[in-house]
C-alpha cells in the first residue's frame, strides 16, 4: 500500500464503528496523539514510542507521540504536532495530516484525539530521553490486519469490554494505542 491507496480507502463515505472506550462520568481532559506513517519506497510503516520507564504514568508502555493539550495549543492537532516534536524531534512542517480518528476516552481520564500524519522516510529522530526510551516501526499492513489483533475480554460495570493486544517482535502494543490502531483498521477491513 502507498499513500494514494491509503487515502483512497481511508476517506470513504461508509460509516465505521469505533471500539468501545472508557465511559467517563464527566468530560475527559483533552489530549491528542499523532499516528505517524512513514513513507518508504515500497512500504508504509507506523512509528511507535516506548515511554520512559521512570515516568509516573504508563512508564515503559507503547504509545504514539502525544499528550495533554496545553493552554498555548490552539487546537488538538497542534497538541499532537507539538508533542511529536518534543518527544521524537519531528518538526510539524514535515507532517502531512490527512485525517483523524474518533475521540477515545481513557481509564486515566483523558479524551484523546488521534491524528494521522504522513512523513517522508527514512526518519532521523531525536528522542527526548526524559519522555521516550526508544521508538520502533511496524509495517502498516501488519497493523491493519485483524488477524494480528488479540482480544482479552474484561468485565467492567456488568459489561464485557475488549482489550486489544498487537504483538510485534519483542513489543506488545495494547490498551488505547491498540484501540487507535483497531479504529484505523476498520476503515480498511470493516468491523470484524
Residues 127-162: tens digit of each pLDDT: 999 999 999 999 999 999 999 999 888 877 777 778
Domain ranges of the chain: 3-142
pLDDT digits (tens, 9 = 90+) for 70-113: 999 999 999 999 999 999 999 999 999 999 999 998 888 899 99
Would you place residue 22 in the very low, low, confident or very high pLDDT band (cuts 50, 70, 90)?
confident
pLDDT digits (tens, 9 = 90+) for 167-181: 999 999 999 999 999
> At CA 117, angle to CA 113 and CA 119, rounded to 5?
155
CATH of region 3-142: 3.90.79.10
Q: With beta carbons less than 8 A apart as the criterion, state whether 32 and 66 touch.
A: yes
User: How far is C-alpha 30 from the chain's CA centre?
Assistant: 15
What's the predicted TM-score (pTM) here? Answer: 0.91
| Other CB atoms within 10 A of residue 189 CB | 12
3-state DSSP assignment of residue 37: strand
Amino acid at each position: 500500500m502507498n499513500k494514494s491507496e491509503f487515502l483512497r480507502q481511508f476517506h470513504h463515505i461508509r460509516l465505521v464503528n469505533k471500539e468501545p472506550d472508557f465511559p467517563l462520568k464527566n468530560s475527559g481532559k483533552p489530549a491528542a496523539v499523532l499516528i505517524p506513517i512513514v513513507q518508504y519506497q515500497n512500504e508504509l510503516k507506523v512509528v511507535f514510542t516506548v515511554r520512559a520507564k521512570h515516568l509516573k504514568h504508563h512508564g515503559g508502555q507503547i504509545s504514539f507521540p502525544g499528550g495533554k493539550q496545553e493552554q498555548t495549543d490552539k487546537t488538538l492537532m497542534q497538541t499532537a504536532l507539538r508533542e511529536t516534536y518534543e518527544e521524537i524531534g519531528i518538526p510539524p512542517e514535515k507532517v502531512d495530516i490527512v485525517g483523524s480518528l474518533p475521540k477515545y476516552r481513557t481509564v486515566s481520564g483523558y479524551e484523546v484525539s488521534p491524528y494521522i500524519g504522513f512523513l517522508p522516510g527514512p526518519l532521523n529522530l531525536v528522542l527526548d530521553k526524559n519522555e521516550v526510551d526508544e521508538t520502533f516501526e511496524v509495517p502498516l499492513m501488519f497493523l491493519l490486519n485483524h488477524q494480528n489483533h488479540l482480544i482479552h475480554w474484561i468485565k467492567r460495570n456488568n459489561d464485557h469490554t475488549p482489550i486489544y493486544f498487537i504483538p510485534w517482535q519483542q513489543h506488545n502494543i495494547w490498551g488505547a494505542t491498540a484501540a487507535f490502531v483497531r479504529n484505523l483498521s476498520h476503515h480498511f477491513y470493516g468491523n470484524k
